[in-house]
């Protein structure tokens, strides 16, 4: 009897592919290698060509238009927490199980936040550029210009306490920072996290990270009024959509010296528009959406998807299934 087929269209660890290969025929064609995202018809043609039982995606989309054209598909694995890359309702109607990989990059993003916070606190990028540009003529001037601040005992604020927020809180607690957080959707937090209202969060945080999802509720949330409530000399780090912040006002608060700096990893467009005003100030640390980009993130979600796919094959309940009701019909 031939083995069922799995079509993997995401970066995936060799270890997980080897594990799955014992039970499945595998076609691995990562979108990062092909540099191509498939339209609904192309996706359906690929699935039908291989008669795939399962498909694994990261950046591709699977819509109703695709699902209406395939008959063999029984399982979709999403290599991310968000499930908006799949029409889950349509998958459910077609008795296709959908699993995701929650918190797959939480540790990576937490360490990214730590890295940019250290950069802001110790001015390491500016100091590196100072040396490379051959401006280091006087050791005393450099000592004054790049004198930083230590993090132990400082207050780290979190706007949002989901999986990533919790991982950030754990990491900052371990380096001796006080942790405060605001999230209207949670009632409890680890004992080292003080839950507070938004006004207190802004007023007491030496460093503030936005990790709340970008939606209609959070769009423009940090406007001029709220930015003015931030602690003077504090810094902002945003690893959710930059549009949570009023970018024009953020620049004003940095240029005036009220805020000591900011770091942004997620933009309205990727890459950032060449005429973006964000590119005009060196106190804004800008990175090209790399917060979750680690080898370990790929290993983590690969293991989660592979584990759930093997459970599904054994007719057991996958750990991260989104639509468990389909299991009654498979």
- 176-198 tens-digit pLDDT: 999 999 999 998 999 999 999 99
When pLDDT is averaged across residues 60-79 and rounded to a whole number, the result is: 97
Would you call the peptide bond into 314 cis, given omega within 30 degrees of 0 as the criterion? Answer: no
When pLDDT is averaged across residues 139-143 and rounded to a whole number, the result is: 89
Query: Looking at the 3D structure of the chain, how many domains does it have?
Result: 2
* Three-state secondary structure call for residue 182: strand
pLDDT at residue 252, as a whole number: 95
Q: Using CA atoms, how far apart are residues 118 and 109, in angstroms rounded to an integer?
A: 14
For 265-327, give the DSSP string. ---SSSSPPTT-GGGG-TTEEE--S-TT--HHHHHHHHHHHHHHHHHHHTTPPPTTBS-GGGG
Answer yes or no: are the C-beta atoms of 292 and 164 closer than 8 Å: no
Q: What is the CATH number of the domain that holds 85?
A: 3.40.50.720
Are 178 and 130 part of one and the same domain? yes
pLDDT tens-digit profile of 11-65?
Answer: 999 999 999 999 999 999 999 988 889 999 999 999 999 999 999 999 999 999 9
* Three-state secondary structure call for residue 258: coil
Answer yes or no: are the C-beta atoms of 177 and 154 closer than 8 Å: yes
Are 147 and 249 part of one and the same domain? yes
Are 40 and 165 part of one and the same domain? no
Question: Chain-wide mean pLDDT for the chain?
Answer: 95
Are 96 and 110 part of one and the same domain? no
Q: Using CA atoms, how far apart are residues 66 and 49, in angstroms rounded to an integer?
A: 13
The tokens for 237 are 């780090």
pLDDT tens-digit profile of 102-121?
Answer: 999 999 999 999 999 999 99
% residues pLDDT > 70 (the chain): 100
Are 155 and 255 part of one and the same domain? yes
pLDDT at residue 215, as a whole number: 87
Are 16 and 68 part of one and the same domain? yes
Are 69 and 154 part of one and the same domain? no
Whole-model pTM: value is: 0.93
The tokens for 314 are 């054994």
When pLDDT is averaged across residues 244-257 and rounded to a whole number, the result is: 94
Are 185 and 42 part of one and the same domain? no
Grade residue 216 by pLDDT with cuts at 50, 70 and 90.
Answer: confident
Are 28 and 150 part of one and the same domain? no
DSSP letter at 244 equals: G
pLDDT at residue 1, as a whole number: 63
Domain range enclosing 75: 5-104+295-329
Lowest mean pLDDT among 139-148, 150-159, 306-315: 139-148
């Amino acid at each position: 009897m031939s083995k069922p087929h799995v079509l993997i269209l995401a970066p995936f660890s060799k270890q997980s592919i080897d594990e799955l290969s014992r039970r499945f025929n595998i076609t691995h064609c990562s979108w990062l290698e092909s540099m191509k995202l498939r339209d609904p018809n192309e996706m359906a043609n690929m699935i039908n060509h291989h008669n795939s039982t399962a498909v694994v995606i990261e950046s591709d989309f699977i819509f109703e238009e695709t699902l209406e054209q395939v008959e063999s598909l029984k399982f979709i694995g999403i290599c991310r927490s968000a499930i908006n890359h799949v029409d889950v309702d349509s998958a459910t109607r077609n008795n296709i199980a959908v699993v995701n990989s929650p918190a797959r990059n939480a540790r990576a993003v937490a360490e990214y936040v730590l890295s940019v916070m250290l950069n802001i606190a110790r001015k390491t990028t500016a100091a590196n550029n100072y040396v490379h540009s051959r401006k280091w003529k006087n050791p005393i001037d450099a000592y004054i210009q790049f004198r930083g601040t230590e993090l132990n005992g400082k207050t780290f604020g979190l706007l949002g306490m989901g999986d990533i927020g919790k991982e950030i809180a754990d990491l900052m607690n371990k380096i001796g920072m006080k942790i405060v957080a605001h999230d209207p959707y949670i009632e409890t937090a680890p004992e080292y996290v003080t839950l507070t209202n938004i006004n207190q969060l802004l007023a007491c945080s030496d460093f503030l990270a936005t990790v709340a999802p970008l939606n209609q509720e959070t769009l423009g949330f940090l406007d001029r009024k709220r930015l003015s409530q931030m602690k003077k000399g504090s810094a902002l780090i945003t690893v959710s959509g930059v549009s949570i912040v009023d970018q024009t006002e953020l620049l004003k608060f940095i240029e005036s010296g009220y805020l000591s700096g900011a770091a942004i990893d997620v933009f309205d467009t990727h890459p950032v528009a060449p005429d973006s005003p964000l590119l005009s100030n060196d106190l804004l640390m800008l990175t090209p959406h790399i917060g979750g980009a680690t080898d370990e993130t790929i290993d983590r979600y690969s293991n989660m998807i592979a584990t759930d796919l093997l459970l599904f094959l054994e007719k057991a309940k996958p750990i991260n299934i989104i639509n468990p009701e389909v299991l009654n019909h498979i």
